[in-house]
A and B are shown apart, each in its own frame.
Chain A
């Protein structure tokens, strides 16, 4: 017959060990981001004055109230821009099909305001699906917005009359408070967004 104190001690020890093992197992099950990089703290946006694709004025408050996936590109971009916007549209569609809420909005900010009027921008982004947002406006305001997010863009003349614009290809994630929270580096793959967005949005 063992002393009662020893039995109690053994039972407590087993209970403690079980508790530790269960908590370890739970933390190993927590989903981890595969691609997105999260900023240490949310970054407030600069006070820009742009125009959205309907021609209405747009300032940073336009990013409040929903999650936004923001890409800086231009409509005369033949490759990277339509490729990225299609990836984002496909990711959004797959999240919708899985019943995930809230769905993020896709935003294209033009780095080519000379050619990207509100009208052409609207027609372009609407070709990728409904509910997208386009922003254009004075290049000084676009530069102010881009600089704050660490986005680079530069107009480049090619050998012909047509010009192109070099630009950062990251996708910026802005939260419902209108703050810059995370980014996705290229190359962009639909599966990466489908995996990481629910984790980002629910965290």
Chain B
């Protein structure tokens, strides 16, 4: 029942303006896309994710037309050692904001398909598209 409700909400929003809107279950703000630097094929995205839904949302996948693979990772510092671990999913409690920031959680943008420019990111929960956003990439 909950998944159906979520899917209906998502479809209703997608059928609407098709972009980030306050009524969308998942709101993306402060999107900061770092294009792959010369010598690499690895980009990074930082952003804030706000759950406007009255139940927890779980992001299970992120996709981008500009990158063959997008993964969610977290930098963990254990003493003086920096480790990076893949996160298979990200749960955001109802009414809360998760911040993907430098030195913490971040999106890894791999296998670039195009040159520097606008990058679109889509956030999914299972088969339901929660939100899609586009921003120019900086850096690189």
Contact = CB atoms under 8 A, between A and B. Distances in A.
Nearest to B109: A78
Contacts of B139: 82
Interface string B101-116: 0110010111000000
Interface string A54-93: 0000000000000000000001111110110000000000
Contact of B88 (A77, A78, A159, A186): A159
B110 A162 contact: yes
A177 interface: no
Contact of A120 (B39, B85, B140): B39
Contacts of B108: 78, 162
Which of the four size classes fits the interface of chain A? 20 to 34
Contacts of B42: 75-78
A164 interface: yes
B48 interface: no
A152 B83 CA distance: 11
A122 to B, nearest CB: 7
Contacts of B102: 79, 83
B44 A127 contact: no
B40 A76 contact: yes
Contact of B103 (A83, A122, A123, A164): A83
A104 B76 CA distance: 29
Contact of B39 (A80, A127, A170): A127
A123 B82 contact: no
A166 B82 contact: yes
14 contacts: A75-B40, A79-B84, A79-B106, A122-B39, A123-B39, A127-B37, A159-B88, A160-B86, A162-B69, A162-B110, A164-B84, A166-B81, A170-B80, A185-B80
Interface of A: 75-80, 82-83, 119-124, 126-127, 152, 156, 158-160, 162, 164, 166-170, 185-187
Interface of B: 34, 37-44, 69, 71, 73, 75, 77, 80-86, 88, 102-103, 106, 108-110, 139-140
Given A79-B44, A79-B73, A123-B39, 9 more contacts: A75-B42, A78-B108, A80-B82, A123-B37, A124-B37, A162-B110, A167-B81, A167-B82, A187-B77
4 closest Cβ pairs, A-B complex: A123-B39, A124-B39, A120-B39, A123-B38
